[in-house]
Amino acid sequence: GLSTHHWYIARFIMTGAMAQRRVKAAVIGAGMSGLVAARELRREGHHVVVFEKGNEVGGTWVYDPRIESDPSGLDPAREVIHSSMYKSLRVNLPRPIMGFSDYPFDAKPGVGDDPRPFPGHEAVLRFLQGFAADSGVVELVRFGHEVVRIERAVEGRNDEWVVEWRTRDGEASAEVFEAVVVCNGKFTEPRLAEFPGRTTWRGEQIHSHNYRVPKPYKDKIVVIIGNGPSGIDIAKDVLLAAKEVHLASRETTTFKIHGGLFQHSPIDHAEEDGKIVFQDGSSIYVDAIIHCSGYKYHFPFLKTNEIVNVDDNCVAPLYQHVFPPALAPWLSFIAIPYRTITFLLSELQSRWVAKILSGKIQLPSKEDMTSSVQEYYQRIEAVGWPKRHTHRLQLEKFDYENWLVGELGLPPLEKWRQNMYFTSFDLLTTFDENGRDTWDVEKWMKGEEGGGGGSDN
Ligand code: FAD
């Protein structure tokens, strides 16, 4: 490859009247975000290398039947399995909002595709493989390269990053890049629910990261902690085998399901004989607990001398959830926010990063970025959101996504996309078993349905 020095010389290329900067960029991860980031960076003329620890593209969507040696995910020495995908998973957003702007996630009947508007997870992997091949991005990926260290070559110099990796045969090597775009995914490092008696409770405990199939729960009494998208989805799946499923959560959920499923307040404590006592005073004897209590942002390879930190699940400080002001634009993060149309988010953020690196879009000064971050934290606090919700969007509906759209000079997001998102979100948190199959997605795209979507939380 070209040396960094070479790239310094070739960095400024005149395109018309505008000086366009071309940088040598490392993208960490070849999941959906890394693929679209690589595509956008290359479109802007940057030199891109994608590092992927696995053997294929797709990240989360590469189903792996194995589970980790510590299924609760606490042992730091465990071998990490990247994907949290379970076997029966169907997408929770419909096809029209799970593609890229110029590369839609259309059904491809006749080639064994699952044509449903909410297909099984295999269809998404096929889609991403197609995208990687058709965009040429797959050729930029170094597979079997796990990034183990990202650090500035010289302290105080922000455009020289050492990227160190290890290959499968244990060989370590490093290379210097001007820019690093972190796309390592946010659904791998489990967060466990805590309650008194948890560690001495004798039943089986796993985190949803290690949930694959209902079979191990045959005829068992299972408690599921959390009623987010995975809690509800896994509860339905486990119910296919289990005797009883008890959902413990702060908020109750609308049921359109019968038999075998019960709702509770959060767990108060666990007793050694297997009893679980809920905060409302009720109690039952339980065989297994599945913690669907979410994930932690985790960047074990990142050494920034405390410039960027993860604190109470807030990656801080980040200007617009992407750039640490002190290291911008050379270090960036894609797909940190959640509760949004994930493919759209990664595409918009990637395009923004690519154009900032090329100099077509200007960032505010470091001071202005820092005060913008502070203002944002104050807004979050003012509405009473805890710090760990910093990256949760939809405080105002699609204001963040539309801000990115504005930066990029694109037309405002179509209303139907937003309505479709909110309605899907309601669907997946209401236990409506048939909703995904009875919903006329096509009609929505034509704007014949509207308004939709009640809650945004
Ligand atoms: P990932 O897909 O996690 O990819 C990250 C990649 O980085 C991986 O390939 C990984 O191997 C690699 N990597 C990590 N660390 C390193 C390292 N140190 N060195 C090299 N490579 C590394 N979104 C939807 O839009 N619709 C859905 O229906 C939907 N369902 C979901 C269901 C589940 C169970 C989960 C967990 C997520 C779901 N999502 C869904 C969100 C999903 O995460 C995104 O769609 C998308 O896959 C995120 O892509 P990503 O590239 O950001 O992360």
Mutate to test the pocket of ligand 1, among 62, 90, 131, 184 (most ligand atoms within 8 A of CB): 184
User: pLDDT category, 259, cuts 50, 70, 90?
Assistant: confident
Atom of ligand 1 nearest to the CA of 335: 52
**Looking at the DSSP assignment, which residues form a beta bridge with residue 151?**
162, 303
Q: What's the 32 CA to ligand 1 centre distance in angstroms? A: 7
Q: Provide, rounded to the nearest whole percent, the portion of the chain with pLDDT above 90.
A: 81
Q: What's the 147 CA to ligand 1 centre distance in angstroms? A: 16
pLDDT digits (tens, 9 = 90+) for 81-132: 999 999 999 999 999 999 999 999 999 877 788 999 999 999 999 999 999 9
pLDDT, residue 396, reads: 82
- Give the binding-site residues of ligand 1, using a 6 Å CB cut-off: 28-34, 51-54, 59-61, 82, 84-85, 89, 91-93, 98, 146-147, 183-185, 187, 230, 301, 335, 342-343
User: pLDDT category, 441, cuts 50, 70, 90?
Assistant: confident
**ipTM given for this complex:** 0.99
Count other Cβ atoms within 10 Å, centred on residue 447: 11
Contacts of 423-428 with CB under 8 Å at 24 or more apart are 423/452, 423/453, 424/92, 424/93, 424/94, 424/97, 425/92, 425/339, 425/453, 425/455, 425/456, 426/453, 426/454, 426/455, 427/92, 428/92, 428/229, 428/232, 428/233
pLDDT digits (tens, 9 = 90+) for 187-242: 999 999 999 999 999 999 999 999 999 999 999 999 999 988 899 999 999 999 99
Decide if pLDDT at 278 tops 50.
yes
User: pLDDT category, 451, cuts 50, 70, 90?
Assistant: very low
User: pLDDT category, 454, cuts 50, 70, 90?
Assistant: very low
pLDDT digits (tens, 9 = 90+) for 20-32: 899 999 999 999 9
pLDDT, residue 197, reads: 97
Model pTM score: 0.94
pLDDT, residue 289, reads: 98
Q: What's the 184 CA to ligand 1 centre distance in angstroms? A: 7
